[in-house]
């Protein structure tokens, strides 16, 4: 199975702590107030709920592993 993670993209509209955020998943990208977290699929909705409860969230989205990453994993890159 190649899609073993989900990505939670979150945009904050206020202060947030990278240390606290890292307890929810693996931080894979930070661009200003936009952060991508890698999480287990079964944890994605719980992570989104915790983000809304504990952080100033402006926007959020949950996606599958990008196609490029699936192809890389198939060819061992």
Domains of the chain listed by start with CATH number: 6-74 (3.30.70.260)
Residue 14 exposed, middle or buried by CB count within 10 Å (0-12, 13-18, 19+): exposed
Under 8 Å between Cβ of 57 and 16:
no
6, pLDDT greater than 80: yes
Regarding predicted confidence, which is higher, 76 or 37? Answer: 37
pTM comes to 0.80
Q: Give the span between the Cα atoms of 11 and 5, in whole angstroms.
A: 20
> How many CA atoms are closer than 13 Å to the CA of 77, on its beta-carbon side?
7
- 47 with 37: CB under 8 angstroms? yes
What are phi and psi for residue 48, nearest 5 degrees? -60, -45
CA distance 38 to 41: 9
For residue 71, what pLDDT band results from cuts at 50, 70 and 90?
low
What confidence tens digit (pLDDT) does each residue in 35-56 have? Answer: 999 999 999 999 999 999 999 9
């Amino acid at each position: 199975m190649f899609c073993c993670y989900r990505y939670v993209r979150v945009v904050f509209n206020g202060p947030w702590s990278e240390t606290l955020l890292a307890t929810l998943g693996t931080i894979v990208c930070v661009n200003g107030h936009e952060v991508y977290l890698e999480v287990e699929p079964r944890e994605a909705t719980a992570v989104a709920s915790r983000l809304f409860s504990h952080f100033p969230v402006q926007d959020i989205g949950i996606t599958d592993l990008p196609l490029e990453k699936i192809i890389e994993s198939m060819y061992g890159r």
